[in-house]
Amino acid sequence: MTDPALLASRSLRPAGFHASAAGALVFFPHAGAAAASGRRLLEHLDGTLAGLAVQYPGKGDRKQEAEPHAIEDLAADIVEDLAQAGLLAGPPLTLYGHSMGAAVAFEAALQLEAVGHVPRLVCVSGRRAPSVSLGFTLPLSDAVILRNIEAGAGVPAEVLRSPKFRDALIAGVRNDYTMNVAYHRPPDAALRAPLRFLLSDADPYVDEAAALAWRAHAAGAFDLLHFQGGHFFIDQNLDAVARALR
């Protein structure tokens, strides 16, 4: 893994990155989020894994790019970037995706395995299994989306007070929700890589039964770890989540 290749990458942003680490962890953010949302977690890896956060088109420093329209296409572009950065030639990758990012991470893992790279670990949280309905339908009102954005934190209050930026943010999140709801894989779409679910005890979108439905997508090992918190539990449990990824 080389820093120059990463600096030229469309979608990969180093965070807590150590070129001498034994492997790399790729973090896939939730709907509406930029790569920076994973920075605190990746910096908690303490050099055991090189941290990389995905920057989706239309987010962060790619905000001028067109939003993606399908999880499958988004994942394919990320896999291409991982290959161009030389990361598929190194140790097996660790993938972690939260909420919509869980779908992107899972799809990326399927595509990686199709080209012969079986990840070391695929970790997901905050989303129902790809073969199961998410439990809500579109369209969601602007007010509902705005409440979800506020719950996710990380967005400065002054941004939300600006109609121009607030409306752009809501449009981007709605696009992500549309992709997330549309994404589906049959139960026999299963990973050879170990699959781990991180379950928050007060997540309104996923209970233990829904988390266990991910087991159908594991051809190999599957386990479930419990955490305290709501849907956005990661920053409340940085040390414990980092341990679950190492």
Which residues are catalytically annotated?
99
Distance CA(138)–CA(212), nearest Å, equals: 25
Distance CA(72)–CA(107), nearest Å, equals: 6
**CB atoms < 10 A from the CB of 188, how many?**
9
CA atoms within 13 A on the CB side of 22: 5
Distance CA(141)–CA(105), nearest Å, equals: 27
Cβ neighbours of residue 143 closer than 8 Å, sequence gap 6 or more: none
- Listed residue (74, 73, 120, 127) closest to 98, CA to CA: 127
